[in-house]
Structure 1
């Protein structure tokens, strides 16, 4: 059975001092995310945080003590003060070193139920101290510390690509905050909120999250220009395409074997046939909707289009055009591409940070799960002319190289984007999403009406409960209209908003309108970790302050037809 020593040597293969010739584990890692990675991995692997001694109910009668020291007022004061000193002085506090020495002294302990209480106590305390030392990390806090300033500088250097990584710098700050812990052993990322329900690792920390090694899924954390972050965040939702012909979905080859399933592909027949016309076609539409929206809300900060709205060349060109709009910070769109590794189609979300008239940086995130069309969906979306309802049809896409990206768009607030099925499927994205706790999750869909009683409402509600994120889903009007029988009233609920209040808002697009502009208001709320530590009201909660419908002032023939 692996021991505590085996785990420490695995997580810290070069020792606790990066760049040193020694691989000694005698001293506590000086970089708090490294110490957090080691302690949190031990706590997780041993599952010691579930022990009854940490329940807060006190010790059994006859134990010689009336109350457990975990997690009492003395513990809370000690971990808070030690973390604050580590944060400000960039020196390992005595409390952290003592906890580390206790862990190392128990290196022969098996990992699991046999891990001693002394080692478990020390691991949990070191986790808490390192977490407190990381307060504000990954953001641009009002009162920066040496740690937060260093990490922010690393992020901005990466985005600007103006400097190579220096000796001792974080190897890839987007993927993990660790320096001594390799990415293929464990990753540590900033987080926006601690879960308030359940007895889980993600409820043990406020500021950083322990994530799996970057094998099955790679997480990325990015920071934008927060100097422009003032007031509500106004987000323009464009449910494009507005119409979808029946030939937009075509049958592909059948699966080899007895299942009788087949593959299908989505053809973006709503875009102009000539590639050179596509950028202007989309950019002109969005630009006009932004201008109309600005008359309503003053500034538009973000634009989002649904799943597969654009293709890869078009989305890049549209981003460059939209970057010329001075107030726009963020452009998100579902898109398609061909994956160079396999030559197969990809279903992705494209996101770009816009600043100073240009695309400052951009990223792609592939869909993690294939859409399966069954008989009910084939009939509901009137696709029986191209897909045999007696078969199951799987989306023909490559799902390799899974990633999840989070973007800091306001002080202490982050956004994550999911593509359709990834909202509903648990693995691999949901565990890391819940651990990092984004303030806002946007799910771009190719789906029917966004009703609270349908599947998007159910799964959005799960994230609104744990970790407490606000969730926005957006589908295209074209796909939604395909779910209607001739003569029936057409649904118009293109979007759904759900947050921790438990209430859902179905957002309808009025006839004659071409977009919805949402004003998202930020407020602060206090959260606690499983061991009783407060975040002092630092957590940002986003609420839907206003929704306005906007229409193109002079719609072209294709839009008004």
Structure 2
């Protein structure tokens, strides 16, 4: 087929595409979608900052309009410094709410006035409109400084503002959002702990608020009993300590589940043998160890699929008695549910257990079957899918104290960018705990690569953990390394820091747990508009890990 000659743009006829789309959508079309009342006479500025942020930030994402701001920045605001003006306006808004500062109202009115005459395609060329939008974003962001934390302020003038934020973000049937007017089906706004320090996205423009435009997954924000102090000691127990032949095995699908699945695919499940000691008795013996006698435990962590529903309830009682946080992978079998589930549960004193399901199934191929020596139970020539329910699309954030907002990931959720990856990057939690059923946690393996990515952007501290039993089943690239100094199979945890530090954490012989003493550090982070957070961005630094032996072994 002959390729048609190119026609100069000025003489080009209307192509079918141009006839279909013409000038495209207007700014007003976007406003009507996000805040429908602007299509009526009720076009006034919202009084609540998160609603203004949702409108302005979502509009700046259209056609990447935010990228045009850096051509000439900052704009002049009379004789005042732009950053000072934004900070003062944001603080005044927080103290005067529900009254909206005049500077915000005038910028909003300017946006409404130009919305009907500016196309989304031409937005980035409208310098004044872009400046108005960035100003609205930045002031809203400054007004919401420390929103989402358990104790955001001791200033009585700000009490009403923060109490209202607490009421709005409280978990409800639509999940969590700070917005009062903008419906979560259109956009959400959540608190934010970290701002990426490289690259340029809409996330680069805010320090305290995050914009969520996808509704594929429902975020939920939970407040935990406030933990006071900079130390955060995590006892990691790499349970089960042994995974035997037959613990991973094939299983039948549910009735009418994937009736058209090809014969070279199948389902597997994890049903480990009954150990000689219950997991609850084992934890009791760990907590009585001499290594923990002088170190308070703030949280106990178990890896993916480590305990059953019944075992978790026993561990939860121990956590309640010991006044610590429990984070554990839980396997829910056919016997206790209509569908097997792979969950992470978080329990804290005086808080109901919070459950999050895995969002991706693990697929075992021939390479992994051979790596974990599963040939006796799973045919290597087939591909095996983890038999679990993945219909739940919810994701949890936990606010424990200033500088400690954390979240949990289950195995493949760490490796897959969607549906949770963008959400994690938007909020930038201080701490990400990835529960895995995996081999050694080495920097060069896949968990290390993906953890390093989150440590870089958004700047979270990341801890990946696996069970000793599964890691010991993993054959090294050279089997001759087993039981030599080159054997790395007891590396059951990996810590990655935004300060470009990392550490492979090996469980020493005789030990059955590791105390990870974290301490909060802070650094300064900058937004692309020139604002900084005053050196308040927190991350967790890891001190020297302590090997923990059960009391009976000490």
TM-score of the pair, normalised by structure 2: 0.86
The correspondence of residues 43-58 of structure 1 with structure 2, limited to 5 A, is: 43-51=60-68, 54-55=69-70
- Residues 541 and 73 of structure 1: CA distance in aligned 2, closer, same or farther (over 3 Å): farther
Structure 1 residue runs without a partner (length 5+): 16-21, 59-66, 160-170, 273-279
Alignment correspondent of 1:168? none
Alignment correspondent of 1:224? 224
- Residues 249 and 486 of structure 1: CA distance in aligned 2, closer, same or farther (over 3 Å): farther
Q: Secondary structure at the match of 1:534?
A: coil
Structure 1: distance between partners of 2:319 and 2:399: 20
Structure 2 residue runs without a partner (length 5+): 1-23
The equivalent position to 1:263 in structure 2, one of 264, 267, 273, is 267
Structure 2: distance between partners of 1:236 and 1:470: 17
- Residues 35 and 339 of structure 1: CA distance in aligned 2, closer, same or farther (over 3 Å): farther
Alignment correspondent of 2:282? 285
Deviates more, 1:300-309 or 1:342-351: 342-351
Matching of residue 382 in structure 1 with residue 397 in structure 2: no
Alignment correspondent of 2:427? 436
Alignment correspondent of 2:30? 7
CA offset digits 1:421-443 (Å, max 9, x no partner) = 11111111111101100111110
The correspondence of residues 284-363 of structure 1 with structure 2, limited to 5 A, is: 284-292=281-289, 295-326=292-323, 328=324, 330-337=325-332, 343-355=338-350, 360-363=351-354
Structure 2: distance between partners of 1:518 and 1:24: 58
Alignment correspondent of 1:403? 394
Matching of residue 154 in structure 1 with residue 167 in structure 2: yes
Structure 1: distance between partners of 2:294 and 2:121: 55
Judge conservation of contact 1:234–1:297 (CA < 8 Å) in 2: no
Matching of residue 482 in structure 1 with residue 473 in structure 2: yes
CA offset digits 1:141-173 (Å, max 9, x no partner) = 2445236531565389x69xxxxxxxxxxx669
Structure 2: distance between partners of 1:532 and 1:453: 36
Structure 1: distance between partners of 2:394 and 2:303: 19
Alignment correspondent of 1:141? 152
Once the two structures are TM-superposed, the CA of residue 325 in structure 1 deviates from its matched residue by 0.9
Q: Rg bigger for which structure?
A: 2
RMSD of aligned alpha carbons: 2.8
- Residues 153 and 468 of structure 1: CA distance in aligned 2, closer, same or farther (over 3 Å): closer
Judge conservation of contact 1:155–1:223 (CA < 8 Å) in 2: no
Structure 2: distance between partners of 1:340 and 1:126: 54
The equivalent position to 1:414 in structure 2, one of 400, 405, 429, is 405
Alignment correspondent of 1:164? none
Q: Secondary structure at the match of 1:461?
A: helix
CA offset digits 1:465-502 (Å, max 9, x no partner) = 10111110110000011114598225210101111122
Q: Secondary structure at the match of 1:348?
A: strand
Q: Secondary structure at the match of 2:522?
A: strand
Once the two structures are TM-superposed, the CA of residue 73 in structure 1 deviates from its matched residue by 6.9
- Residues 172 and 37 of structure 1: CA distance in aligned 2, closer, same or farther (over 3 Å): farther
Judge conservation of contact 1:236–1:303 (CA < 8 Å) in 2: yes
Structure 2: distance between partners of 1:515 and 1:198: 39
Judge conservation of contact 2:520–2:539 (CA < 8 Å) in 1: yes
Judge conservation of contact 1:155–1:174 (CA < 8 Å) in 2: no
Alignment correspondent of 1:76? 83
Judge conservation of contact 1:41–1:210 (CA < 8 Å) in 2: yes
Alignment correspondent of 1:240? 239
Judge conservation of contact 1:34–1:180 (CA < 8 Å) in 2: yes
The equivalent position to 1:550 in structure 2, one of 534, 548, 551, is 548
Once the two structures are TM-superposed, the CA of residue 296 in structure 1 deviates from its matched residue by 4.9
Judge conservation of contact 2:343–2:357 (CA < 8 Å) in 1: yes
Once the two structures are TM-superposed, the CA of residue 320 in structure 1 deviates from its matched residue by 2.5
Once the two structures are TM-superposed, the CA of residue 543 in structure 1 deviates from its matched residue by 0.5
Structure 2: distance between partners of 1:13 and 1:341: 45
Structure 2: distance between partners of 1:341 and 1:385: 28
Q: Secondary structure at the match of 1:427?
A: coil
Judge conservation of contact 1:87–1:146 (CA < 8 Å) in 2: no
Once the two structures are TM-superposed, the CA of residue 205 in structure 1 deviates from its matched residue by 0.6
Matching of residue 36 in structure 1 with residue 43 in structure 2: no
Q: Secondary structure at the match of 2:504?
A: strand
Q: Secondary structure at the match of 2:300?
A: strand
- Residues 247 and 351 of structure 1: CA distance in aligned 2, closer, same or farther (over 3 Å): same
Deviates more, 1:217-226 or 1:441-450: 217-226
Structure 1: distance between partners of 2:395 and 2:195: 18
- Residues 294 and 132 of structure 1: CA distance in aligned 2, closer, same or farther (over 3 Å): farther
Judge conservation of contact 1:29–1:35 (CA < 8 Å) in 2: yes
- Residues 257 and 332 of structure 1: CA distance in aligned 2, closer, same or farther (over 3 Å): closer
Judge conservation of contact 1:137–1:147 (CA < 8 Å) in 2: no
- Residues 184 and 271 of structure 1: CA distance in aligned 2, closer, same or farther (over 3 Å): farther
Once the two structures are TM-superposed, the CA of residue 129 in structure 1 deviates from its matched residue by 0.6
